[in-house]
Amino acid sequence: MVSPSSKAALSPVRQIPAHELVVDQMRRALELGQFRPGDRMPTERELSEMLDVSRTTVRAAVAVLEREGLIAVRRGRGGGFTVQAPEYDAAQMRREMRANKRAIRDAFDYRIIVETGATRLAAERRRSVDLTDLHKLLTGMDAALDTALNDQSGQHTTEFQTLDTAFHMGIAQAAQNERLLDAVADARRRMWLPVGAIFGRLEPNANDFHESILEAIENREPELAAERMEAHINDTRHTIESWLKR
C-alpha cells in the first residue's frame, strides 16, 4: 500500500524538448557573461556541433532567445547571432520584486550558503594561476567602474557586471570542486534574474569588497575570506532592500 506522503512526493514526468535544453544552456551562458552584449555567438553549425544537437534544434532555440530580445539574428550571407543588452522596465521590475520578496530572500540565502563555501575552499586550494586571473579581473573591474561612474550608460554598467560575475566564478573555480562551481553559477543566476535589472547605474562602492576577499584568499585565510564574502553579499542585499522601500 502506498502512503499519502509517498504520493505527494511524486509528480508526472514531462519530456523536455531538446530545444528547451539548448535555450537553457545558451541563456545561462548569456546571464553569466560568457557572451557580452555586442558579441557574436557561434554560428548555427558551430552550436550544433558544440551541443551535439541538430541544426533544426538550434534554430528553434535561437528563435526563443530572439523573441526574448537576448540575441539579434541577421540572416543571409555574413549573418549570425549577436548578443543584445536586455531592456527592462524599472517600474514594472520594482512592482514584481515587491510582490515576490520571499523569492529575493531565498535567492540571497542560497547565494550566501554556496558562495561562502566556495570562497572558504578557494582560500585553501587556490593556485598561483587562480590568483593571477583574479587580480586581472579585479584590475579590469576597477577600470570598468571608473568608466561607468563617468558615463552611467547601460553598456558600461553591463561591462562591470560581467567582470563581477567572472570574478565570483573565478573564486568558485579556485575551489576546485565542479559541483560547487555549478552551484555558484546557479546561485548567481537565481539572484540576478530577479534583481540584476535594477542596477541601471553603479555606485562608487560597487567594487569595495572584492579586494579584501581576494586578499584573504591569497593569504590562505579561509574563515576570513568566507566572512568577507558574506558581508559583500549582505551589502548587496541591503542595497536591494533599500531600493524596494523607495
Q: What average pLDDT does range 191-214 have in this prediction?
A: 74
Q: What dotted CATH number matches 90-245?
A: 1.20.120.530
Comparing 104 with 175, which gets the higher pLDDT?
A: 175
CA distance 178 to 93: 33
The boundaries of every CATH 1.20.120.530 domain in the chain are: 90-245
In the three-class reduction of DSSP (H, G, I as helix; E, B as strand; rest coil), residue 83 is classed as strand
CA distance 61 to 116: 34
Q: What average pLDDT does range 166-193 have in this prediction?
A: 89
CA distance 19 to 61: 5
The boundaries of every CATH 1.10.10.10 domain in the chain are: 18-83
Query: pTM of the predicted model, to two decimals?
Result: 0.76
- Percentage of the chain exceeding pLDDT 70: 85
> Residue 136's closest CA among 159, 155, 160, 163?
163
pLDDT digits (tens, 9 = 90+) for 99-143: 677 888 888 999 999 999 999 999 999 999 999 999 999 999 999
Q: Tell me the CA end-to-end span of the chain in Å, nearest whole number.
A: 55
CB 236 within 8 A of CB 245: no
Query: What CATH class has 18-83?
Result: mainly alpha
